[in-house]
DNA sequence: CAAGTGGGTTGCAATCTGCAACGGACTCCG
DNA sequence: CGGAGTCCGTTGCAGATTGCAACCCACTTG
């Protein structure tokens, strides 16, 4: 039985989000949604996604509670897809994706657009901060409890069979 | 010619990262990598991923510069997959994914493990901060230049045909 | 020498993707 | 009024991708 596999056995919040967020089109659809796109036709022409796939992905996103549909016209019933709170909460993730892509992509592929932080007026990028103390979160100051360092202490770096 | 489509035409850093990061297995492999997993066999048994798929994904991640291989044994040549700087830089993204999954998943699916910020000693989650001023990044204080608000001004909320 | 470990590759069947065409229900325009 | 256009899908089909299991190779261990 090929086709996407059920991953709940992994018992991890990342694994739980993966069925929705580990999909190229869903990510791009969300990017568009954050840019203000809301209608089927607009997603389709902007992304160049096949209509059947778009239809299926939008259904998935609605089922996942990330989008909700809202009627904007009665006569031929038309609705648009809007981000729910759960969906809006994905912004951090999109920003992180943007920052990473921007930092590591070859210059000619970089997005010329800038992200402006209106509070300070400067172009910005996301930095991971601690929800408790506001300090930066780095590989070196994080631990997963119980056990397991997020980053290994590179203990085996010199492990050449002696 | 079905199969993944080239998305570079979208000219966006998110779109550029999507071929690699918009894949369920790649995300899970990275999660494991941040937990310290480095070897083929360990990824395979931990994730339950098919061996051919794992092989192909690891190759992709190496080609993308996220992993690098390092020999740890000569005789039957054996190597492990280690995160490069580019790979390590994905931590924010994984943390954002974790936070989102944790916040919105039904309680019984939540990951019981906690993330500890060693600098302050408290369990934490990621918060998006401005790289320039350190203030929190929210939908309401961001703009994409040129044009386009990240968040719509909900101008059409009351747009009932009059 | 048989079994085990580590890291893959190969084959096959079941899905999933992408494309293009078709559909329905209006609205707009000449 | 007829034809074109808009919006949102659904349906068919060929080709790609998955998942599974089996196989292979090169040691190492008992």
CATH value at residue A70? 1.10.10.10
CA distance B154 to A54: 24
Nearest CA in chain B to A116: B143
Q: Are B82 and B14 within one domain?
A: yes
Tell me if B130 is assigned to some domain: yes
The answer to whether residues A15 and A84 belong to one domain is yes
Average pLDDT, chain B: 85
Helix axes A13-21, B24-34, angle to 10 degrees: 160
Check if B53 contacts A (Cβ < 8 Å): no
> Domains in chain B: how many in total?
2
Interface test with A, best of B1, B3, B15, B33 (most A CBs within 10 A): B15
Asked if residue B124 belongs to a domain, the reply is yes
Q: How confident is the model at residue A5 (pLDDT cuts 50, 70, 90)?
A: confident
- Residue B69 in this model has a pLDDT that exceeds 90: yes
The whole domain housing A67 covers 8-88
Residue A84 domain flag: yes
More confident residue, A158 or A78: A78
- Whether B63 has its CB under 8 Å from any CB of chain A: the answer is no
Residue A146 is assigned to a structural domain of this protein: no
**Segment B41-49 mean pLDDT:** 95
Same domain, A83 and A96: no
User: Are B12 and B84 part of one and the same domain?
Assistant: yes
Residues B84 and B28 in one domain: yes
- Residues B72, B126, single domain; the answer is no
Q: Look at residue A161 and tell me if it is in a domain.
A: no
Clarify whether residues B105 and B156 are in a common domain.
Answer: yes
Domain final residue, candidates B70, B88, B106 = B88
| Domain finish residue from B88, B122, B138 | B88
How do residues A56-96 score in pLDDT, each as one tens digit?
Answer: 999 999 999 999 999 988 878 889 999 999 999 999 999 99
**Looking at the structure, do residues B99 and B161 belong to the same domain, yes or no?**
yes
Task: Give the whole-number percent of chain B exceeding pLDDT 70.
Answer: 88
Report CA(A76)–C1'(C23) in Å, whole number.
14
Interval B6-39: pLDDT, tens: 777 776 889 999 999 999 999 999 999 999 999 9
Clarify whether residues A99 and A49 are in a common domain. no
Contact list in A for residue B158 (CB cut-off 8 A) is none
Tell which of B36, B59, B88 closes a domain.
B88
Nucleotide nearest to A51 (CA to C1'): D9
Verify that A32 and A55 share a domain, yes or no.
Answer: yes
The verdict on residue A147 lying in a domain is: no
Listing DSSP states for chain B in one string gives --SS---GGG--HHHHHHHHHSBHHHHHHHHHHHTT--SHHHHHHHH---HHHHHHHHHHHHHTTSEEEEEEETTTTEEEEEE-HHHHTTHHHHHHHHHHHHHHS-GGGS---EEEETTTTEE--EEEEETTT-PBP-GGGEEEESS-BSS---TTTT----
- Kindly provide the b/e burial profile for residues B68-79, where b requires at least 16 CB atoms within 10 angstroms of the residue's own CB: beeebeeeeeee
Residues A82 and A51 reside in one and the same domain: yes
Residue A2's pLDDT is: 55
Q: Tell me, yes or no, whether B71 and B38 share the same domain.
A: yes
């Amino acid at each position: 039985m090929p086709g996407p596999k059920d991953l709940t056995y992994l018992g991890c919040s990342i694994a739980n989000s993966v069925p929705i967020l580990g999909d190229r089109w869903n990510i791009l659809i969300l990017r568009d949604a954050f840019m203000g796109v809301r209608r089927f036709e607009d997603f389709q022409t902007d992304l160049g996604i096949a209509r059947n796939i778009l239809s299926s992905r939008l259904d998935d996103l609605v089922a996942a509670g990330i989008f909700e549909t809202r009627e904007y016209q009665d006569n031929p019933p038309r609705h648009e897809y809007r981000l729910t709170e759960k969906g809006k909460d994905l912004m951090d993730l999109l920003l992180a994706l943007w920052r990473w892509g921007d930092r590591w992509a070859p210059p000619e592929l970089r997005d010329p657009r800038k992200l402006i932080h209106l509070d300070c007026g400067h172009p910005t990028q996301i930095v991971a901060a601690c929800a408790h103390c506001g300090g930066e979160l780095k590989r070196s100051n994080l631990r997963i409890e119980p056990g397991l360092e997020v980053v290994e202490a590179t203990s085996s770096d010199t492990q050449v069979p002696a």
